[in-house]
Chains A and B, each alone.
Chain A
Amino acid sequence: MADGLTIAVLSGKGGTGKTLVSVNLAAVAGDATYLDCDVEEPNGHLFLKPTPISEETITIGKPVVDQSLCDGCKICSDACAFKALAVIKGSLLIFSEICHSCGLCYHLCPQGALTEVQQSIGVLKTGERGALAVHSAVMNIGEPSGVPLIKELGKRRGGAITIIDSPPGSGCLVHETIAHADFCLLVAEPTRFGEQNLALVHELVTLMGKPAALVLNKTIGGLNPSEAYARANNLPIIASIPWDEKLGRLTSDGELAVEKDEHYRFLFTTLLERIKEEVRHA
């Protein structure tokens, strides 16, 4: 477990630059860890190109019923908060995809008819890039929730700084990601859609009591709804990344901007220092 600083990079909307900011911050952070929590489509490894070290299958427990022991009492199905169990004509039906693996049903069953079996939900890949540890999780296709993978990734925090590349949105996956963070770095583009999603994720971060700041990405001058939102809602703006075709080309080539361009190395090094400053004053 980490004694260092954990920074979650979030955006609400997809495609605003979470991965761009995450991988470049990680690359200038020295003794650090990068966690790709975007388990539905992890892509940070495309930029960091870690040397693979290990792979681990991640499993979660799901209930299985022994119908010969089940007497259809409905204690489990009435108690299930996710409605993953139903008792029809005295037989228990289990809806595994809806089950959140809380384990309550095994504990409550008076007949001992329910047992837990482990099911694979994805693979956690570990690699390294110099002093940077890189962990990515890949969820199995069709798996309904990546939350257990993010819980596992959270355990891999380490070094002086951990950078978490969050999933987009403000749902369960993002909630789980923020739970591991000391500081939330929001990234927003200058669009109305970007602003709306920034507001949603900012509300979530505030609700969870995490200090936060904003990076404006793809700025083009003129009206920026995301900037206006930040100013109206006391969200500090700690960096602005102007729209730049060169940066776009580097990114689409899978390059790290901080390694190809001195200007971007300075920008992300400064950003990391600003984050540390924000954390000290939080």
Chain B
Amino acid sequence: MRTSLFFASMLIALATAPAAHAAKASPQTPEQRIAALEAHVDALEAELQQVKAAQAATTGSMAPVAATTAPASTQQDEIDSLAATPDDAATASAPQDTTASLAAPADNAGGSGGGANAFNPAISIILNGSYSHHSLDTDAYSRSGFPLVGEGAPSANGFSLGESEVSFAANIDDKLYGQLTLTAESENGEDHGGVEEAFIDTTSLPAGFSLRAGRFYSNIGYLNSHHAHTDSFFDRPLAYQAFLGNQYGDDGLQLRWVAPTSLFLEFGGEAFRGENFPSGGAQHDGIGTRTLFAHVGGDAGSNNEWLAGVSMLKTRAQDAEDGFSGDTTLYIADGTWKWAPQGNFKDGGITLRSEYFLDDRDGTFADPDAPAVTALWNGQRRGAYLEGVYRFNRTWDIGYRYDKLWADDNGPFASAFDPWRHSAELTWRNSEFSLVRLQLSHEKPNAADSDNAVTVQYQTSLGAHGAHKF
């Protein structure tokens, strides 16, 4: 094979020998010599410029730059003609004079033509849909020790529109940035629209501080601040479903500070209205929830990256979705470790992630369906997940996740059984902007039942380029 290829190339080379291309093989043809002479002339001209520049350099001013640009040098003219004009380089302060003036007017402005739409925000749209089948009747599903809250129920059987969202974002002025994310999803055939996030961020606070106000997802834990379309699995871990109703977002205020250290170190706190689970009833005059979080992260060599954090959410609830009234404190520890050769995660690598939840209740329970039934609710529940995703290349990844919840032995949801689930996923990506995912799971939500589920999901992103968050 190799030798035949070799002979074939020989033949081609011989056959085309008189043609210009073959000239490169022997540097003696006229074209070759002309090219070499041209280059030599260029070299001499450049040398001349250097001598002039060197003379000018002794004066020690900006003159050398000007000196090389002033005379008619073909090389310099060629370079100058490639410079963007001052208009293009909107941020280029003090453009260097002659270089710019010699440049042909370029149209680098990139869509900044006038018009009322010129300041339209960046729009990005996530389209997402799925088909699921559960072996267990989803209406009969119950999770021992953990009532279903928020969006924390298993997916519906059959086709459904997942969380499809449209997001608008832009700088508001020199000090503020704004983002609005609207969602549409169907739940048992009914369409729901909603404001998922609507917040403003400061962009100009000094010393690494930033402030966010509006409706947004809390920065506690790892997954909570991430939109579901960036997840590696179709659904959120059981701990997120049980303790945060899938994801905690509310109306509030966030202050964040990044330390000026070589290790990434971030601290912050939030105050929320306290309307959504695990809160409820907007207690404390509508500042029912407060959080604190700290994250630390860095590199370990050029192949490993890590991020770890601890967070706390404290809320006072009145008639929360699970019937709880009183004080809830939720502690979360999260850790992420990524390995990829040279950090090229998109081309293959491993992501390991785990989060641990401790939910502490001190209050009373009133059954939402029969409010006359009340009981003390004083106890702790825990949950955790561990997931690993192996990325083969840009196109394929495969992942496994183990979920576990530990129920309370006492109180209104006392259970001796602790729910668990195994999930496995396989994802195919056509590009950075589209994927199809297959997920299989085996779950034991209570002592009597088990559920085997299969889900096929598509997820796409169009419009403005999304962020590659860690």
A and B are partners in one complex rather than unrelated chains: no
Interface residues of B (CB under 8 A from A): none
